[in-house]
Amino acid sequence: QVQLVESGGGLVQAGGSLRLSCAASRGGLSNYAMTWFRQAPGKEREFIAAISRNSDNSHYADSVKGRFTISRDSAKNTVYLEMNSLKPEDTAIYYCAAKFMINAWRVVTGVEYDYRGQGTQLTVSS
């Protein structure tokens, strides 16, 4: 079983940057495609970004394309979400999630997972 712990959230001004981290506190991530998704109050969960097991492929929601970058460090069992040019509408709880994936090159393109973390709050002030 994999346990995921997100960190790095907080309060940032519009236009600012922040990096979220997602570490596996138990279990490794080498067999998992990873994603980030978010949920704002009163809204549905929204897929944000995904990365394949081998890091060769990534996929982004249109709402964050060009502003957010997902990456992973296999040695540290950690996945990152680098966020730039933040907007107030990016305010949400951000979750990382792991989906077991046989094919190392495949990405998850929606909110689909076997494990997810508890989330970290991002608030972007205008």
Q: β-strand 120-125 against 10-13: which pairing, if any?
A: parallel
The beta strand positions in 1-126, using DSSP E, are 3-7, 10-13, 18-26, 32-39, 46-51, 58-60, 68-73, 78-83, 92-100, 115-116, 120-125
Report pLDDT digits (tens) over 99-109.
Answer: 999 999 999 99
Of the candidates 10, 75, 64, 66, the residue with the CA atom closest to the CA atom of residue 35 = 64
With 90 as the cut, is the pLDDT of residue 26 above it?
no
- Which token pair is 22? 């997602």
**In the prediction, which pLDDT does 27 show?**
79
Report pLDDT digits (tens) over 65-123.
Answer: 999 999 999 999 999 999 999 999 999 999 999 999 999 999 999 999 999 999 999 99
Average pLDDT over residues 50-63: 97
